[in-house]
Structure 1
Amino acid sequence: MQQRLVVLVLVVASVYASLAASAFVGDVRVELKHVDAGKQLSKPEFIRRAMQRSKARAAALSVVRNGGGARFSGESGQQQPGGIPVRPSGGHEYVLDLAIGTPPQPISALLDTGSDLIWTQCAPCANCLAQPDPLFAPGDSASYEPMRCSGQLCSDILHHSCQQPDTCTYQYAYGDGTMTMGVYATELFTFTSSSGDKLNVPLGFGCGSMNVGSLNNGSGIVGFGRDPLSLVSQLSIRRFSYCLTPYTSGRKSTLLFGSLSDGVYGDATGPVQNTPLLQSPQNPTFYYVHLIGLTVGSRRLRIPESAFALRPDGSGGVIVDSGTAFTLLPRAVFAEVVRAFWMQLRLPFANGSNPDDGVCFLVPAARRRASSQVPVPRMVFHFQGADLDLPWRNYVLDDHRKGRLCFILADSGEDSSTTIGNLVQQDMRVLYDLEAETLSFAPAQC
């Protein structure tokens, strides 16, 4: 038995040795669960909680995109020169179920297109956060292998060390103050497709034994960004796609990744459009797109294209982010959008709104009785080569109980950047094609 175990470890080690060079073969389709699923919340409550998470996410993204190399040091979350490079966090929205180890141990991981590290909390744990699953126990897995300091992925971690003999240790911090520290290791990950098929793949991951902050109903994070540590990069995945259902629909969202050579648009209910993906040398993780303008109603807003430009210093620009709920616009742009809606809706602003409700318009009782739905001006995002004509439910909440129409868009505070959030992407098939360097989308019944 011991001899067979040694052979297994040697085989797994051999697989891991070629990890960075190997390309993923096949397709995986997994279900995504919203972090607030099963909480019996009303739609306004769902949106209010999403607004709170979006604000935290916006602050975290601002640290990364405009911080000029800002660093996180210590448990206080303060930025200090020479600390650990920070990544965005503060409000992930979707969870995927997977398993780690031999035999597999279940993990609920937060999907994040805005960061790269794959990690989970591990036992024994010096400091761990609340999570829905038992801690991953590396001692119970025959395929767990701490990475040596000479490992290629170890050198890709900006803040790594070798405090233990020939063992790669890591520190990784997020903009909201969440931080994970532990051993960087290799392990077998099991993804179960919605069809029941299982796929086992070797991955490098962080086994966190000292963690601070929040995991928002998850047990770890799976980074889908563009840097070497991410799932996308480690498996050389060329395409991934998701279709996000409305929060209160009861339908499961889906994530597909792999070659996707058979296409993904079988559920599309409208034309497929494409726009180029852009990259920033300062922030290589993010998926940038070229937004050139906005239309409200029948009027193209007088917003200069420079308001959305990605600047040479890495500030500005427009990213598509699964981890942010609200679409966040620069303050001046958002003010112009609000003014355009106010002029066309001809409704007063609601007074005394909870800040987490965002900007709301008051619908007088007489007008509510006159028709079941106040006509909402259309909204179009104009990208290079593509126009995203949104259904009104993707940017406005009709709160019948309070007689209000509320934006599910917000300003990005002091940040000059734009984030295309997941509420705008509901009931839409979105495909990231890293081979063609395009983002494509089509309306769909997810």
Structure 2
Amino acid sequence: MSFSLGGSGGSSSPKRTVTLYMDTGSDIVWVPCKPFTCIMCEGKSDPKTTPAPHNLSSSASPVSCQSRACSSVHMSHPSSHLCAMSRCPLDSIEMSECQKYTCPSFYYAYGDGSFVGKLYQDVLEIPMSAPPSLTVENFTFGCAHESLGEPIGVAGFGRGALSLPAQLAAYSPHLGSQFSYCLISHSFDSHRVRQPSPLILGRRVDSPPSLNNENKVKRVSQPQPDDFAYTPMLENTKHPYYYYVGLEAVTVGNRKITAPLNMRTIDRKGNGGMVVDSGTTYTMLPQELYNSVVGEFGKRVKTGYKRAEDVEDKTGLSPCYYTDQPVGGKNNKKVLVPQLVLHFGGNSSVVMPKKNYFYEFTDGKKVKRNVGCMTLMNAGYFPDSGGPAGLLGNYQQQGLEVVYDLLNKRVGFARRKCSSLWDTLG
């Protein structure tokens, strides 16, 4: 997503456009700031299209060590500790008079990367589907001069106090309490032009189209509530920043496979459940469930197609099959694989489009072969490692509008032609 940081746009405080990855698995907004160094970022982005590191505008100001934002980004450490780190004198700490001392640098880690940053505040301006833009004063964000494995920056949409929805909620409860996105299909072809995916702030699924005069935000044409398959969010007091849901079962063809208990519930230690994560590519299932799903899938596919084990070794995907030479010689243009259905808590089921779990492509240099691979991943068996038991990745979310309803503590899924949603936003 793209937005602007900066003041009124004049020469003394110019607006600066930033483009970030939207990530529901992160709870902070951060941008690469000049000078910026990215470690282990080779091949992570196209240098021709990667935005230049951000130049802070003159309207940007560092966040105080006494602020709630500083305490939040430092894992709820008390402001007295943080101000001491910022060299505020003891008498000032005791009198809570450290406003002029800035929040110390913080470390933030992802599953596959990390960064060190400082907190700033500035004017945020988000372009909307119809003018005027949405402007938020004193928006808090991280400014990183060094990162590991992340060259772009992230707009965190998680459940933490510094996420974009949380800060919008302080400005307008409606805007921050409901949002949705609709991911346009992935393409691993670097030469293909990719369309941006619709992101809808203040998504309302229980009212007709209207114009919110207070916030000047046009809402899209709304479907009826039962258009979405809703599942309750699971609360996790140990890891409160993620969107947890319960996966009850997976149906492959006509066989329903019950998910293990740790996929359906969260224990007292905060372990278990499935995180809906727009920042993770593939869905991760615990080893027991993964083996059952892949095993059942393989039973039904191997009678029609030959296994492509050499492709599995090259891609890391499994199982893979040659789909251009069906067993028995019947060459159907349409590749036939069993249907996959995810059954969530709350008696909701989502039928996966085939392309969401079976990636078809051409392999080979001299001899081209049509290949198809399953795109689910084995999360392994780590019963004592903690954290979620599984992840619902963005590859499995493509072609679905996913709505996060924080008011009613639920996540909804509905099949969509995502590119057409742009037509309803004007």
Distance 1:265 1:426 in 2: 20
Letter of the 2:198 counterpart:
T
For residue 397 of structure 2, give the secondary structure of its aligned residue in structure 1: coil
Q: How many residues align?
A: 344
Report what 1:441 is aligned to: 413
Q: Given the alignment, which residue of 217, 241, 244 partners 2:180?
A: 241
Contact 1:308 1:418 in 2 (8 A): no
Choose from 404, 409, 414 the match for 2:376.
409
The alpha carbon displacement at 1:304 in A equals: 4.0
1:155 maps to which residue?
71
Q: Hey, what's the Cα distance between the residues in 2 that align with 1:177 and 1:292?
A: 28
Deviations, residues 199-241 of structure 1 (Å, cap 9, x unaligned): 22131111223x131224x1x2111111111111122211010
| Equivalent position amino acid for 1:150 in 2 | Q
- 2:52 matched to which residue of 1? 134
Residue 295 (structure 1) aligns with: 251
Kept after mapping to 2: 8 A contact 1:291/1:318: yes
Structure 1 Cα separation of the partners of residues 326 and 244 of structure 2: 45
Query: When the two structures are superposed, what TM-score results if normalisation uses the length of structure 2?
Result: 0.74
CA distance in 2, matches of 1:98, 1:122: 15
Q: Contact 1:296–1:378 at 8 Å: present in 2 too?
A: yes
Give the corresponding residue for 1:185: 120
Which residue of structure 2 lines up, in the alignment, with residue 383 of structure 1? 344
- The aligned counterpart of 1:58 is none
Is the Cα contact below 8 Å between 1:121 and 1:128 reproduced in 2?
Answer: no
C-alpha spacing 1:322/1:265, structure 2 compared with 1 (3 Å): farther
Shift in alpha-carbon separation, 1:300–1:396, aligned structure 2, 3 A:
same
Judge conservation of contact 1:170–1:206 (CA < 8 Å) in 2. Answer: no
Instruction: State the Cα deviation string for residues 139-196 of structure 1 (Å, max 9, x = none).
Output: x42x212122221211212267443661112312214564333431211111112445
User: Which protein shows a greater Rg?
Assistant: 2
Change over 3 Å in CA distance of 1:339–1:366 after alignment to 2: closer
1:320 is displaced (CA, Å) by: 0.6
Quick one: which amino acid aligns to residue 393 of structure 1? K
Amino acid at match of 1:184: L
Cα-to-partner distance string for 1:313-364 (whole Å, 9 max, x where unaligned): 1222111110112111111111111111111122443222214233212336
Q: TM-score, normalised by structure 1?
A: 0.71
Of 265, 271, 274, which residue of structure 1 is paired with 2:227? 271
CA contact (8 A) 2:249 2:256 kept: yes
CA distance in 2 between partners of 1:177 and 1:381 (Å): 26
Cross-structure match for 2:158: 225
Matches within 5 A, 1:55-134: 96-102=1-7, 103-123=14-34, 125=35, 127=37, 132-134=50-52
- Correspondence 1:39-50 to 2 at 5 A: none
Question: RCO (CA 8 Å, sep 6+): is it higher in 1 or 2?
Answer: 1
Is the contact made by 2:114 and 2:150 (CA closer than 8 Å) also made in structure 1? no
Change (3 A) 1:214 1:332: same
Moved more, 181-190 or 159-168: 159-168
5 Å-filtered alignment, 1:10-25, equals none
Q: Which amino acid in the other structure matches residue 396 of structure 1?
A: F
Query: Shift in Å at residue 379 of structure 1?
Result: 0.8
Counterpart for residue 204 of structure 1: 140
Q: Percent identity?
A: 29
Mapped pair 1:167 → 2:102 = yes
The residue aligned with 2:265 is 309
**Corresponding residue for residue 252 of structure 1:** 196
**Code of the aligned partner of 2:272:** G
Change (3 A) 1:441 1:175: closer
SS at match of 1:301: strand
**Which secondary structure state, in structure 1, belongs to the residue aligned with residue 233 of structure 2?**
strand
Give distance in 2, aligned partners of 1:144 and 1:394: 42
**Using a 3 Å threshold, how does the CA distance of structure 1 residues 265 and 430 change in structure 2: closer, same or farther?**
farther
CA distance in 1, matches of 2:141, 2:358: 39
**Pair 412,196 (structure 1): closer, same or farther in 2 beyond 3 Å:** farther
CA separation of 1:372 and 1:107: change in aligned 2, threshold 3 A: same
